[in-house]
Amino acid sequence: MRRIRIGTRGSRLALIQTEYVEKELKHRFADVITERVIIHTEADKDRRTPLYEFKGTGVFAKELESALLEDRIDIAVHSAKDMSVNIPDKLTIAGALEREDVRDVLVYRKDIPKSLDDIKQEITIGTDSPRRKSQIEKLYPLIKCESIRGNVPTRIAKVKNGEYDGALLAVAGLKRLGLLEEEDLNYHYFSEEEILSAGGQGIIAIETRKDDDIVSYIDRISDKTAFAELMAEQRILKLLNAGCHEPIAVRAKVVGDDITITIANAIMSADNKAVCTEIKRSCKSGKQNDWENIALAAAREIR
């Protein structure tokens, strides 16, 4: 039997995503048994500090990577958008599960007009993402963003109890949690043209040690399209030296042998008021086997 120790955060969403990985492994390999190892990250322990105030990137991934390097786990399961582009040399993203819906959705109370175009006075929504903040405030000037912490159910609870008028969240997480059917809330889905997603959004990434035989196991359960899109998005973010603290969005979309890479970069005001003055976009397409050159061209255009 092959025992695989799976490192995961302890949130409900993280455990659901880990269950997906476990099911794929057990479906593909009859000799695999899995063991969950719950790891509490720095950002899980500190639920008050806004995420953009944490030093460095990958605040939900660093402790999982340390556990891999110290051989306390065999694989780490991540929400890919939470990962740093600067992965330790001895580690690798070995695979990814099929991508879920990449869009963002505004979850808001019923007393807010159902059509956002009908909002007549300022409303406050929760997000810790500069990418989301810049794009939604550019679309709807009466929407103002404030920092919000906590896992997805906690954020929705804060909307329900009136701490916020709404919260801007990833559709993928809500789907996996079964939280897209709340009768006392409204949901406004943004197209990718309105709000471009974060690199890796909707993807469950599986990280391993490079020299471990577990790499071959993960390759067998990996979705090739999602993995190709993730690699392109990670490369773009690295080229732009961008992490979760920058208002940069990137989306790689593979269809057949073709790939399209779109980047959105929010240009902020120079008066320290964090006001988005422009969303600069770049979009490049070509054959998937030329993805690295396409990524480089898209990144050059957005700089």
Task: Write out the catalytic residue numbers.
Answer: 82
Q: Which residue in this structure is represented by tokens 């953009």?
A: 52
In angstroms, the CA 200 to CA 226 distance is 9
List the beta bridge partners of residue 95: 206
Q: Of the candidates 190, 137, 128, 186, which has an alpha carbon nearest to the alpha carbon of residue 159?
A: 186
Report residue 151 CA to chain centroid gap.
13
Q: Name the helix (H) or strand (E) containing 109.
A: strand 104-109
Q: Of the candidates 83, 104, 105, which has an alpha carbon nearest to the alpha carbon of residue 94?
A: 83
The beta-carbon contacts of 235-239 under 8 Å, at least 24 apart in sequence, are 235/292, 235/295, 236/199, 236/261, 236/263, 236/295, 236/298, 236/299, 237/85, 237/199, 238/85, 238/86, 239/295, 239/296, 239/299
Q: Name the helix (H) or strand (E) containing 248.
A: strand 248-255
Contact 206, 96 (CB under 8 A): yes
Length of the chain: 303
Name residues whose C-beta falls within 8 Å of residue 19's C-beta, 6 or more positions apart in sequence: none
Could you count the other beta carbons within 10 Å of the beta carbon of residue 96?
A: 25
Contact 205, 76 (CB under 8 A): no
Cα–Cα distance list, 33 to 9, 39, 64, 142, 179 (Å): 19, 19, 20, 52, 30
